[in-house]
Structure 1
Amino acid sequence: MTTVFYARVSTADQNLDHQITQAKQTGFEFDEVVSDHGVSGVSTRLSERPEGKRLFDMLRHGDTLVVRWVDRLGRNYDDVTDTMRLLLRKGVIIKTVINRMTFDGSTNDPMQGAVRDALIAFMAAMAQAETETRKAAQKAGIEAARGKADKYRGRKPTYSREQFKLVQDMLSGSSTISEISKSTGLSRQTIYRIKDKPEASEKALTMWGM
């Protein structure tokens, strides 16, 4: 039985090492890492990505697929639900790093199956909704900045949106500030700022269109 960690890195600001480090710090061990770089989770289905295709060929019955969250598989509701159900029917176990959730298609209990499918649908919908919300916020932020070009926006954030999310995820766990700093490459001061003022930190990213 093989355990594969799959990561999707869609922008230059995102970092594969961050996703791998977070998975290992959460207690996951895997035999192989498969990753797609510069690929959108909105417009490109997993089966259409270079390494995504290979992932489908690799995984066999009894294997385990580990992902940071379902949004790494895609940010489109239909794509995520179709992909997860296809893999589960194939006998692949899917686990998420965040919240350590496990999806197993081997159950014969209709009630358990219904609960599992409902949870998959909910998570897929959240992934798509998060993308749409972020796009709307970015658009609003960009328009506001353009309309008030003479207004000072403050310092440009020294962290990317991916780093911001990773810091929040690790803060919600048992990671220390020093561990987070080492994993993300951010200063302790920046991490404390995100910890103490998450809304302001998020707003800064939006205002700069990040």
Structure 2
Amino acid sequence: MHYGYARVSTRDQNVDRQLDALRAFPVEDQRIYVDYYTGATFERPRYRRLVRRLREGDLVVVTSIDRLGRNYEEIIDQWRRLTRERLVDIVVLDMPLLDTRTCMGGEGDADVTRAFISDLVLQLLSYVAQVERENIRRRQAEGIAAARARGARFGRPRKERPVGAEEVLRAVAAGELSKSEAARRLDVCRMTLNRWLDEAGCA
């Protein structure tokens, strides 16, 4: 039985390219499982359902190896879980060398060699994918740091003080007005009020 698995990070991302490639393999729509995950939770209910359904000799098709996991260790773990424990084959469409149908089914030296090469290529590509993700995060962090050094600000813009704010701040500093009442009059939260007091030297 042929099964397909597709994964994207959020529902805003387009999964159509993966679905088209799986259908062209071909995999029937009712045997294609799709997961959407956000952030670090990496919850994959459809993947878990797919694994439970697999039987020895079935085939799992993915478009790329990073569909199997978030990082190098997880990709390797899932690959071995599927091929060694569930005894199913895997085809990675964008890397023809990663096709266990040509290397897991025989008993001769050629089959052992192909199995070794497949595992070796998998580990190499998983490592490269992990390094590239880390490099992307590093470049993003460096870009943000450089932008901040140039004076760029991120997040919500600071709220400007309304007319008469200094008088209210002085009243708070003199004990003539509570912070709660001052925040209400200035229509700001306590955190913003405290920042304004600190900036004005009234804290």
TM-score range, shorter chain: 0.5 to 0.7
- Structure 1 residues 140 and 16: alpha-carbon distance in aligned structure 2, compared to 1, 3 A threshold: same
Q: 2:167 corresponds to which residue? A: none
Give the superposition deviation at 1:57.
0.6
Q: 1:36-90 CA deviation, whole Å, 9 max, x = no partner? A: 11245x763xxx5211211111111121111110101113222111111121122
Contact 2:4 2:61 in 1 (8 A): yes
Q: 2:56 corresponds to which residue? A: 61
Q: 1:98 corresponds to which residue? A: 94
Partners in 2 of 1:103 and 1:126 — Cα distance? 20
Q: 1:5 corresponds to which residue? A: 4
Amino acid at match of 1:96: V
Q: Which runs of 4+ in 1 moved over 6 A?
A: none
Q: 2:136 corresponds to which residue? A: 134
Say if 2:79 is the partner of 1:84. Answer: yes
Give the superposition deviation at 1:96.
1.5
Amino acid at match of 2:75: V
- Structure 1 residues 38 and 149: alpha-carbon distance in aligned structure 2, compared to 1, 3 A threshold: farther
- Structure 1 residues 70 and 127: alpha-carbon distance in aligned structure 2, compared to 1, 3 A threshold: same
Give the superposition deviation at 1:110.
2.8
Partners in 2 of 1:59 and 1:119 — Cα distance? 24
**Identity percentage of aligned residues:** 34
Partners in 2 of 1:120 and 1:114 — Cα distance? 10
Structure 2 runs not aligned, ≥5 long: 153-203
Larger radius of gyration between Structure 1 and Structure 2: 2
Contact 2:36 2:44 in 1 (8 A): no
Amino acid at match of 1:129: V
Contact 2:55 2:88 in 1 (8 A): yes
Partners in 2 of 1:148 and 1:97 — Cα distance? 44
- From 108, 112, 115, give the equivalent of 2:114: 112
Q: TM-score, normalised by structure 1?
A: 0.60
Q: TM-score, normalised by structure 2?
A: 0.62
Paired residue secondary structure (2:95) = helix
Q: CA RMSD in A?
A: 2.4
Q: 2:148 corresponds to which residue? A: 146
Amino acid at match of 2:2: T
Give the superposition deviation at 1:137.
1.5
Number of residue equivalences = 144
Structure with the greater relative contact order (CA < 8 A, sep ≥ 6): 1 or 2? 1
